[in-house]
Amino acid sequence: MIVVQKYGGTSVGDVDRVKRVADRIARTRRAGNQVVVVVSAMGKTTNELIKMAEEISDDPPGRELDMLLTAGERISMAVVAMALHELGVPARSFTGSQAGIITDARHGKARIVDITPGRVKEALDDGDVVIVAGFQGVSQDTKDVTTLGRGGSDTTAVALAAALDADVCEIYTDVDGVFTADPRIVPDARKLDRVSFEEMLELAAQGAKVLQVRSVEFGRNYGVEIHVRSSFSYSQGTWVGPEEKKMEDAIISGVAHDTSEAKLTLKGVPDKPGVAARVFTALAEANVNIDMIVQNVSAEGVTDISFTLPRGETKHADEVLSTLSDEIGATGVDIDDSIAKVSLVGAGMKTHPGIAARMFAALSDAGVNIEMISTSTIRISVVVDGDDVETAVRAIHDAFDLSDGMVGKEQGA
């Protein structure tokens, strides 16, 4: 079997943990498998490197920042390979570029456009364990080193699993799998045995941090099932795969939350054709990532438009809109930095009415005010005050009986 294993930063956080990971890899190899390992940077290395760059420059060149950040994963790949040699297991490490991870040229958020894993296959055929530095590739056009965005090692792993037609893709992390809510907020949250690609996409996009969104997209597009599990135990984790394979017939899979966004309101906007287009074109041209949008009912020809965006982009968006505000005759821009988004996700929503009603009633009973609402076919998201996030997550989790000990089938009752 070809097995791809990805180890996150905590799993390779220090020398002892590197040795422990090497031991697990060695067992997988000795069981007769061909093993490809993708590693993240050790512990908080990536954050520390970013901090260092920020101490030097407000706006470091993307090319150089990527050069710097990719060093984190290169340290991990070398030490894991060494630890395997120490155990008598031949291993060879490769950078993303050497492993054939070909990307576009967008530094900091490059997309994989092709994978040419010739050297990986050769090393596997020689009987070596292959260690690949995650989160990085090389641009087809510029030949420069690129990174795939925070959490990108997950995507490296799933993409390699697809390219190698691997039998298993395991993502090792510091938790037991995907939970019905963040266990730090809901201590009796339940580990899911299976979750569909679609549900996992929504959960990851709405703040669940176990998997990078793009790794799930890759898995769905290429049919790679992903086993999310803990590197600190041998128990089964959560399988992410096609909807048909989900055995338990749960209506709701979980509650995700995200405290990384801010809300911006453009006030007193003239309610006439073309205004929203101008606002969002200006933001798009400035590369601001917009999430939820709400336009209020207009009174006397004026309205408010609110939207959420990553908190780090508010300054930029404020500059763009303050200029535009005068041009279109709006009265000003309001920024709310203290918001949270809470989302309920479940494929069963498509066929079960009343889910939104139950969610909103739970929030109301808990005294939480809803500021914005948005939905997809399998998700309901609300924006609430940042101080209410834990109360909101718990209230919703309770209202749908998602806790440990509950049987998925009973959820809709």
Write out the residues near ligand ASP by the rule CB under 6 A: 9, 40-41, 46, 72, 134-135, 150-154
Q: Which is nearer to Mg ion, 38 or 130 (CB)?
A: 38
Q: Which is nearer to Mg ion, 204 or 362 (CB)?
A: 204
User: Nearest CA to 197 among 231, 243, 235?
Assistant: 243
Query: 46 touches which of Mg ion, ligand ASP, none (CB within 5 to 8 A by kind)?
Result: ligand ASP
Instruction: Fill in the amino acid letter for 41.
Output: A
In angstroms, what is the minimal distance from the CB of 127 to Mg ion?
A: 30
User: Nearest CA to 142 among 75, 98, 94, 97?
Assistant: 97
Stretch that binds Mg ion, among 4-12, 18-26, 52-60, 262-270 (CB under 5 A): 4-12
- How far, in Å, CA of 314 to CA of 289, rounded? 10
Q: Which is nearer to Mg ion, 8 or 219 (CB)?
A: 8
In angstroms, what is the minimal distance from the CB of 159 to ligand ASP?
A: 13
What DSSP designation does 11 have?
A: T
In angstroms, what is the minimal distance from the CB of 111 to Mg ion?
A: 18
> What is the separation, in whole angstroms, between the first and last Cα of the chain?
43
- How far, in Å, CA of 199 to CA of 77, rounded? 32
Q: Which is nearer to ligand ASP, 228 or 349 (CB)?
A: 228
Q: Which is nearer to ligand ASP, 173 or 253 (CB)?
A: 173
Helices (H), 14-60: 15-30, 45-56
Query: 100 touches which of ligand ASP, Mg ion, none (CB within 5 to 8 A by kind)?
Result: none
CB atoms within 10 A of CB 53: 17
What DSSP designation does 221 have?
A: H
CA 252 to chain centre: 20
Is residue 336 packed enough to be buried (19+ CB in 10 Å), middle (13-18) or exposed (0-12)? middle
- Check residue 152 for interaction with Mg ion (CB under 5 A): no
CB atoms within 10 A of CB 401: 17
Q: Which is nearer to ligand ASP, 67 or 293 (CB)?
A: 67
In angstroms, what is the minimal distance from the CB of 73 to ligand ASP?
A: 6
> Position of tokens 């399988």?
239
Q: Do residues 204 and 211 make contact, with C-beta atoms less than 8 angstroms apart? A: yes
In angstroms, what is the minimal distance from the CB of 72 to ligand ASP?
A: 6
Binding Mg ion (rule: CB under 5 A), the pick from 13, 134, 137, 151 is: 151
In angstroms, what is the minimal distance from the CB of 203 to ligand ASP?
A: 17
**Contact track, Mg ion, 101-140, x by CB under 5 A:** ----------------------------------------
8-67 positions binding Mg ion, by CB under 5 A: 8
Q: Which is nearer to Mg ion, 175 or 320 (CB)?
A: 175
In angstroms, what is the minimal distance from the CB of 135 to ligand ASP?
A: 4
All residues at 6 or more sequence positions from 271 whose CB lies less than 8 Å from its CB, including other chains: 298, 301, 302, 303
User: How many residues line the site for Mg ion (CB under 5 A)?
Assistant: 2
Which residues would be at the binding site for Mg ion (CB under 5 A)? 8, 151
